[in-house]
Amino acid sequence: MTAFGPLSVRLPSGHGTRRGVWARLARLPAWGLVLPSAALSAVGLLLVWSATRNEPDSTLPQRQALSVGIGFVLMWVVSRVDLRVLRAYVPVLYLLALAGLVAVLTPLGRTVNGSHAWIVLGDGLQFQPSEFAKAATVLALATVLGELRDGERRPGAGAVLLALGLAALPVGLIALQPDYGTALVFLALTIGMIAVSGARKRWFAALAAAGAAGLLLVWRLDLIQPYQLERLMVLADPDADPMGVGYNATQARIAIGSGGLLGKGLFHGEQTAGRFVPEQHTDFIFTVAGEELGFVGASCVILLMLALLWRGLWIAAKSPSPFGTAVAGGVVCWLAFQTFVNVGMTMGLLPIAGLPLPFVSYGGSATISSLAAVGLLAAVNRRTRTPA
Amino acid sequence: MRSSLHRGRLMLVFVVVTALMLTLLGRLWYLQIVTGPSYARAATESRVRSVVLPPVRGQILDVRGRPLVANETKPQVSVDYMALIHQPDGGKDVLTRLARALGRPYREIADRARLCAKDVPRPCWPGSPYQPIIVADDVSVRTALWIAERQDEFPGVSTALRPVRTYPLGSAAAHVLGYLQPPSPDDPAGGRELVGRDGLEAEYDRDLAGRTGIREVAVDSTGKVTGLIREEAAVAGDNLVTSIDARIQEVAERALARAVTAARKRGEPADSGAAVVLEAQTGRVTAIADYPTYDPSVWTGGISQREYEELPLVSAAVQGQWPPGSTWKVTSTAAAAKAGYSLRASYDCPGGYMIGGRVFHNFESADLGRMDMHRALVVSCDTIFYRFADEMWRRDGGLKPVKRPKDPMQTMAREFGFGTPTGVDLPYEAPGRVPDRAWKKANWERTRADSCRRAKTGYPEMSDRKRAAYLKALAADNCRSGGVWWAGDAANFSIGQGDVLVTPLQLARGYAALANGGTVFSPRIGKRIVRADGTVVRTITPPVVGKIDVSRKTLRFIRDALADVPRTGTAAGAFEGYAFKRLPVAGKTGTAEAYGRRDTSWFASFGPVKKPKYVVVVVVSQGGTGGTTAAPAAREIWEGIAALSHDDQKKPKKKDGRR
């Protein structure tokens, strides 16, 4: 596990020391986290810029830059928060997240791109409560699963059931939007956190059984929409209907495949310029990476993400508290699953699900919450480094 | 610090997370490195759209540059398939509005805008979905502009001006000009929409067509053009200047139509006809009129199968062949002169001449007394020619022909250019026929099986029993023996009856040879190929294909004889009151008989007599005698020519006067 170490920088302890700019910079949350997330955000900004260069609304890159800026500020703020203090506020955060998810279902909510996931606060100011609910749920589950009584090595049945219940609420609310992709991210991080918490293996068996039963229920009750079925079928045979449902998948694969080894160069992607791939600046941003940066650049995006995930797992492993481990594990599972589903769908590995690529896709809520999640990792890391 | 339990679980997550990312890397490698090249190709295909730029087709002009076929730009409405299917409702809304704007049913527009496939019936679009699909090509300029101005209401719909062929002179020379049709499937014609299929349009297709240009543009996913990749401009086709004089062409058509009408009034069927005007000294075609004809503008805007089948597409002047009747006597006279008969000697012209136990009659069996060949031509005596033919036939051995029969009349006919296509610059020309011993034998062998069958079965389908019985007897004869060139065949040949066939164009060039002193041309309608900027690409000269081997004196003798035909001979009635002083005309009537059909009416002429400039040939199938039907039409054409040359001579004088 020491393999994760070299990226981290030992941070000085204490506050308010004035040793110049470099010292203050050095106080930023762990470089092993900042570097990959900053690199991904920067690449994301460039790709959003490139993807929207023919878009009539030219302010999208600026808006994304603003989101990244806010995200990094929030990352820093979160990283400075004492975990024990944070933990005290978890119920409040969790309830706020739930309130947001409920509000989405009220007339306050708005549908964008077929997903009723947005709350509009004013002109141009809108956000997706489900993105922030991810962080809140991670914290809530970590609180429950990391609250080990003396002598306990693993959370008991009560804690696991409570965690499942806490996870089920946002999952249910998000499924009502409906946004099954995001709901799956919650499921993934829940399973991941239960695993990391050390709960008994039978819980996984039970979860798997419950999941199978749930799928069966969805199938039997005709809850699955025809378009979702089509998306699944397109995965099996991408050329079945290249002008209809298969269009996205086909065009995405053409854009990525045509990039080759070195890509066509940033701002030189012809498929990107022609906007052949719908949603290429949001959910399909990876196609721009694939076409313009080629295998070299696009694999760098994946490797940067892998570096971040490895660093997160290292932090989880080094955390002195089960709470910290659970938080870090949850964040890692969240980002890993979301990355895999997003990139997998653009390359035809998985059915199309409306999930953004963390740090890279255009989208304020997702960018800010992802960066805040990195802040959580940093906070856990800080606690590892500076025992209070 | 942490228990091994947590370490184990974290290790599990580590393995899973790493596996997921490596899966992505593997897939990325497969897409970009292993199958990358094929995706690169697919990307180019989806991104680059080739637009064929049709060139402007060259015009066909008359000898003075008046357009016979010109181009007119007509608006055309097309839709972009790719743009339509990316609309939420698949373009239904736009097409509905478009149909309303065009005043057409929605179904029609929608059907034209769909792609052809196995289970899609026509109409449908057979081309590429990346080409604009033409849904309407006869749109008014107003409607086209109305649609063009409302691009937001009609996304994916475009209007463009496309040149279509127009015919400023209406149906004039329709057969000569020809028409355009889409290329046949086995001849893609370089992506051209239309190719010349008949007439000059077909003959000079390569000159007129120009070169198709191509424009490759980059398009975005909605089909919007984002940039130009490559453009090869279309090169306009060259213009064809013909030797047709539109004014004489109009005169000829009018005269022919009038002759047909007049013949019908007299009770003749007059089912078809032609008038040909050639330049006697050069072999250029000045006018070719055909009857029946049609308005070539039917070709624009598409033509239905039924309309097509009803069109009279066969040109009587080039593809029609009839026995030439007495117009043929000029070749027979030349043949006789060459064979040693004196043209000035006196011959008897009895009412009938006995050949092989059968009497061959003069026209209306008239006994015209003694005369020289001049008079024989003027009054069109047949019996003198029967005698010549009979004697020549005997000299060749009669029924037991010598090894190399001289066949003076056939030889001379061939020298005049008969029996072979003239090689005029028009397609599908008929060759005519100069029958001789060999032909008769071959023809008999070809038809013998049928004759023997008919000898047995008879002609039960014929209502005329007498005729059926005659034909049955004839068939029995032909089954037993046949293929022998009788003296009677030679006699019929000498006066242009029987199995002789000529096209009006062949007869005209034969008379041109007579008029110009013996030069046989391959007539040409095209005169010059001229680029749009006026530079001459090439000049077309009618090639000389033969020289009549007969003395100039003989030809002059025949010409002089023919000069009296309209004055005092068989065409005197038709030319009564004609201003011979203004344009002296010489000619010969012809009345060709055919069993079961009315006579074919011919008049072949040239003028002015001393230095012939033009040859005029008129034929009306089943039109009566040459003097009553064809000669008046020829007279009308001559009068038209005289009036025009008078105008042409006056004009420069006026200019001189002003100076």
Q: What is the pLDDT of residues B332-374, one digit of tens each?
A: 999 999 999 999 999 999 999 998 888 999 888 888 999 999 9
Rounded to a whole number, what is the distance in Å from the CA of A94 to chain B's nearest CA? 25
Question: A325 and B85: CB-CB below 8 Å?
Answer: no
Question: B218 and A274: CB-CB below 8 Å?
Answer: yes
Question: B43 and A253: CB-CB below 8 Å?
Answer: no
pLDDT recorded at residue A142: 93
Average pLDDT estimate for B367-392: 93
pLDDT recorded at residue A377: 93
Question: A347 and B24: CB-CB below 8 Å?
Answer: yes
B421-437 confidence digits (pLDDT tens) = 999 999 999 999 999 99
Residue B646 has pLDDT above 80, yes or no: no
Which residue is closest to A189 within chain B, CA to CA? Answer: B13
B156, B94 Cβ separation under 8 angstroms: yes
Interface A–B counts its CB contacts (< 8 A) at 160
| % of chain B at pLDDT higher than 90 | 54
Highest mean pLDDT among A14-18, B62-66, B301-305: B62-66
Residue A24 has pLDDT above 60, yes or no: no
3 state DSSP class of A388: coil
Q: Note if the bond before B123 is cis, omega within 30 degrees.
A: yes
B74-120 confidence digits (pLDDT tens) = 788 888 887 787 777 878 888 888 888 888 888 878 887 777 666 66
A257, A325, A332: residue with CB nearest B31: A257
Question: B17 and A309: CB-CB below 8 Å?
Answer: yes
pLDDT recorded at residue A78: 92
Whole-number Å distance between alpha carbons of A361 and A370? 11
pLDDT recorded at residue B656: 43
pLDDT band per the 50, 70, 90 thresholds, residue A22? low
Mutation target to probe the A interface, by most A beta carbons within 10 A, among B4, B31, B220 is B31
Mutation target to probe the B interface, by most B beta carbons within 10 A, among A235, A261, A270, A381 is A270
pLDDT recorded at residue B223: 64
A138-186 confidence digits (pLDDT tens) = 999 999 998 877 777 788 888 889 999 999 999 989 888 878 888 889 9
Residue A12 has pLDDT above 50, yes or no: no
Question: B36 and A259: CB-CB below 8 Å?
Answer: yes
Residue B73 has pLDDT above 80, yes or no: no
Residue bearing the bigger pLDDT, A254 or A1: A254
Rounded to a whole number, what is the distance in Å from the CA of B88 to chain A's nearest CA? 11
pLDDT recorded at residue A136: 95
pTM for the whole thing?
Answer: 0.65
Question: B6 and A192: CB-CB below 8 Å?
Answer: no
Chain A partners of B42 at a C-beta cutoff of 8 Å? 254, 257-258
pLDDT recorded at residue A13: 46
Question: B31 and A271: CB-CB below 8 Å?
Answer: no
Whole-number Å distance between alpha carbons of B385 and A379? 128
Considering chain B, what is the average pLDDT of its residues?
Answer: 87
Residue A213: which H helix or E strand, with range? helix A201-220
pLDDT recorded at residue A7: 41
pLDDT band per the 50, 70, 90 thresholds, residue A20? low
Mutation target to probe the B interface, by most B beta carbons within 10 A, among A193, A287, A347, A350 is A347
Question: B39 and A299: CB-CB below 8 Å?
Answer: no
pLDDT recorded at residue B3: 65
Residue A285's CB: how many other CB atoms inside 10 A?
A: 28
Provide the H-helix boundaries in A106-200: 129-145, 157-176, 180-197
Of the ranges A342-356, B172-186, B354-368, B571-585, which one carries the lowest mean pLDDT score? B172-186
pLDDT band per the 50, 70, 90 thresholds, residue B657? very low
pLDDT recorded at residue A8: 43
CATH class of B246-294+312-322+502-649: alpha beta
pLDDT recorded at residue B477: 83
Residue A6 has pLDDT above 70, yes or no: no
- What is the token pair recorded at A310? 């490895």
A62-86 confidence digits (pLDDT tens) = 999 999 999 999 999 998 888 889 8
Whole-number Å distance between alpha carbons of B133 and B91? 13
Chain A partners of B23 at a C-beta cutoff of 8 Å? 340, 344, 349
Question: B43 and A270: CB-CB below 8 Å?
Answer: yes
A350-388: b or e for each residue (b if 16 or more CB lie within 10 Å)?
bbbbbbbbbbbbbbbbbbbbbbbbbbbbbbbbbbbbeee
Chain A partners of B3 at a C-beta cutoff of 8 Å? 153, 198
Question: A275 and B221: CB-CB below 8 Å?
Answer: yes
Whole-number Å distance between alpha carbons of B230 and A104? 51
Question: B32 and A349: CB-CB below 8 Å?
Answer: no
Place of tokens 């709350």: A119
Of the ranges B300-309, B434-443, B499-508, B570-579, which one carries the lowest mean pLDDT score? B300-309
Orientation angle between helical segments A364-385 and A129-145, nearest 10 degrees: 30
pLDDT recorded at residue B520: 97
Q: DSSP state, B291?
A: E
Which residue is closest to B30 within chain A, CA to CA? Answer: A257
B2, B24, B46: residue with CB nearest A340: B24
Residue bearing the bigger pLDDT, B415 or A116: B415
Which residue is closest to B43 within chain A, CA to CA? Answer: A254
Which residue is closest to A248 within chain B, CA to CA? Answer: B221
3 state DSSP class of A126: strand
B98, B77 Cβ separation under 8 angstroms: yes
Considering chain A, what is the average pLDDT of its residues?
Answer: 83
Question: B24 and A349: CB-CB below 8 Å?
Answer: yes
Question: B35 and A257: CB-CB below 8 Å?
Answer: yes
Residue A279 has pLDDT above 90, yes or no: no
B9, B27, B46: residue with CB nearest A349: B27
| % of chain A at pLDDT higher than 90 | 40
Question: B43 and A192: CB-CB below 8 Å?
Answer: no
A354-373 confidence digits (pLDDT tens) = 899 999 999 889 999 999 99
Question: A343 and B47: CB-CB below 8 Å?
Answer: no
pLDDT recorded at residue B318: 95
A255, A275, A329: residue with CB nearest B13: A329
What phi-psi label fits residue A263: left (phi over 0), alpha (psi between -120 and 50 degrees) or beta?
left
Rounded to a whole number, what is the distance in Å from the CA of A335 to chain B's nearest CA? 10
Listing DSSP states for B336-390 in one string gives: HHHTT--SSS-EEE-SEEEETTEEEEPGGG---EEE-HHHHHHTT-SHHHHHHHH
Mutation target to probe the A interface, by most A beta carbons within 10 A, among B5, B15, B20 is B20
Orientation angle between helical segments B408-415 and B487-494, nearest 10 degrees: 30
Strand extents, DSSP E, B426-571: 519-521, 526-530, 536-539, 544-547
Torsion A48-A52-A58-A60 (CA) sign? negative
Average pLDDT estimate for B174-194: 73
Residue B537 has pLDDT above 70, yes or no: yes
Question: B17 and A261: CB-CB below 8 Å?
Answer: no
Residue A387 has pLDDT above 70, yes or no: no
B27, B28, B40: residue with CB nearest A258: B40
From chain B, which residues contact A within 8 Å (Cβ)? Answer: 1-3, 5-7, 9-10, 12-14, 16-18, 20-21, 23-25, 27-29, 31-33, 35-40, 42-43, 46-47, 85, 218-222, 226
Residue B474 has pLDDT above 70, yes or no: yes
pLDDT recorded at residue B609: 94
B10, B20, B218: residue with CB nearest A316: B10
Question: B17 and A332: CB-CB below 8 Å?
Answer: yes
Question: A196 and B222: CB-CB below 8 Å?
Answer: no
- Tell me how many degrees the CA angle B154-B159-B161 measures, rounded to the nearest 5: 170
pLDDT recorded at residue B127: 59
Pick one of 3.30.465.10, 3.90.1310.10, 1.10.357.10, 3.40.50.300 as the CATH number of B51-239: 3.90.1310.10
pLDDT recorded at residue A318: 86
pLDDT recorded at residue A233: 65
pLDDT recorded at residue B71: 87
Chain B partners of A142 at a C-beta cutoff of 8 Å? none
- What is the token pair recorded at A312? 């997160």
pLDDT band per the 50, 70, 90 thresholds, residue A224? low
- What is the token pair recorded at B51? 């637009």
Whole-number Å distance between alpha carbons of A76 and B387? 128
ipTM (interface pTM):
0.89
Residue A209 has pLDDT above 90, yes or no: no
Domain boundaries, chain A: 29-385
Question: A276 and B39: CB-CB below 8 Å?
Answer: no
pLDDT recorded at residue A10: 47
Q: DSSP state, B57?
A: P
Rounded to a whole number, what is the distance in Å from the CA of B9 to chain A's nearest CA? 5
3 state DSSP class of A281: coil
